[in-house]
Amino acid sequence: MELEQSAALDAETKIAEAPGDHKAELRLWLRLLATNTLIETEIRRRLRERFDVTLPRFDLMAQLERKPHGMTLGELSQRMMVTNGNVTGLVDRLVAEEVISRKQHKSDRRSHIVSLTEKGRRQFARMAKEHESWIAGMFGALSPGDTAALTKLLGKLKTSVRTANTHN
Amino acid sequence: MELEQSAALDAETKIAEAPGDHKAELRLWLRLLATNTLIETEIRRRLRERFDVTLPRFDLMAQLERKPHGMTLGELSQRMMVTNGNVTGLVDRLVAEEVISRKQHKSDRRSHIVSLTEKGRRQFARMAKEHESWIAGMFGALSPGDTAALTKLLGKLKTSVRTANTHN
DNA sequence: TGAAATTACTTTAAGCCTAAACTACTTTCC
DNA sequence: GGAAAGTAGTTTAGGCTTAAAGTAATTTCA
């Protein structure tokens, strides 16, 4: 009896929603955006304060750190999810700082390979260590279960977004 | 025997983790960032394509839409989580487009009240409607339960981040 | 082979964003 | 009342970011 009533209520709630109502999704998107901004702003602030480095530069170095043999500017821009022109400018600045090097591709003369210099590798190692602990601190109130669940749900959302963006 | 062995393995895995290991949190943060970027980039693209408007301008108008009597530049910058200087520039551009108005505060001559014009309200209404359906589309593969769970977990994360950022 | 298409990257113009310094006004407090 | 402190907003210099147009090299294919 109890169960039946609550099932009926749920159905009623569903039906009561206006046809084009997507408040829950909108609310979720706003929360995702706000959370992301909160974390990102603080990470930017700490990177600047502690290492006088920007997040895009840190991100670029993080990509290169995983590929000891370096990668092309095009591959970098894909991984960083930014435009080619953006990467050109970032690479210019990081080369000037001597933390990365840009070399002609061996066979394709349009292409260039960028990779961390020894100085860059050392600098990145120091930054990455602290960065990881900042994240751990900010995520501290999440249990391992929360973390796993959130990771899984975001994976599902990511897939959903990719599907919607390519098939529309 | 089997069960005991696997329990032993789990314990061993736990112990085997380096003291400062936070791979799970880092992975979660990277996924959150990537998902956010994916959605945001697409929303920016559609706003530009359909309405020739940028996301910051849309966001500013969205804030004002909720406050028919308008708000100060300071309040706007807080809600948008950006600096005062940033808002000054955005407001200048939106006033030039005649979608918002900037008026002297009645009693405090340092302060200004900005609010949507009639034109701005109409324009925003059109944009908001489509925006909502874009979000619904991108979030389409999430069940109502997923959406609720994700909203809840992000709320927890947001609180965790705020706590970490203020108490450190 | 050689013209057309494609690819890798750079340049440009314009907007977004920040921190820091500044102006003008208001509040506090002696 | 008036000096000092605080607040609201603007300006400035510099970095990030994009879309679109441009350059140079490579690939395709008739």
Mutate to test the interface with B, among A29, A33, A37, A159 (most CBs of B within 10 A): A29
Domains and CATH numbers, chain B: 23-166 (1.10.10.10)
Distance CA B72, CA A135 (A): 34
What three-state secondary structure class fits A146?
helix
The structure tokens listed for B112 are 């200004």
pLDDT digits (tens, 9 = 90+) for B41-67: 999 999 999 999 999 999 999 999 999
Q: List residue ranges whose Cβ is under 7 angstroms from nucleic strand C.
A: A 41, 45, 48, 72-75, 84-85, 87-89, 91, 102, 105, 108, 110-112; B 54-57, 81-86, 89-90, 93, 107-110
DSSP codes of every residue in chain B: -HHHHHHHHHHHHHHHS-TT--HHHHHHHHHHHHHHHHHHHHHHHHHHHHHS--HHHHHHHHHHHT-TT-EEHHHHHHHHTS-HHHHHHHHHHHHHTTSEEEEE-SS-TT-EEEEE-HHHHHHHHHHHHHHHHHHHHHTTTS-HHHHHHHHHHHHHHHHHHHHHHH--
pLDDT digits (tens, 9 = 90+) for A132-159: 999 999 999 999 999 999 999 999 999 9
pLDDT digits (tens, 9 = 90+) for B102-114: 999 999 999 999 9
Distance CA B48, CA B166 (A): 36
Mutate to test the interface with A, among B151, B162, B163, B168 (most CBs of A within 10 A): B151
- Bases along strand D below 7 A from a protein CB: 6-13, 15-21, 24-27
For residue B4, pLDDT beyond 80? no
Give kind and range of the element (H or E) at residue A134.
helix A118-138
The structure tokens listed for B139 are 């979030």
C-beta separation of A80 from A59 below 8 A = yes
Distance CA B149, CA A28 (A): 10
Report which residue type is found at B81. M
The pLDDT of residue B17 is 58
Whole-model pTM? 0.85
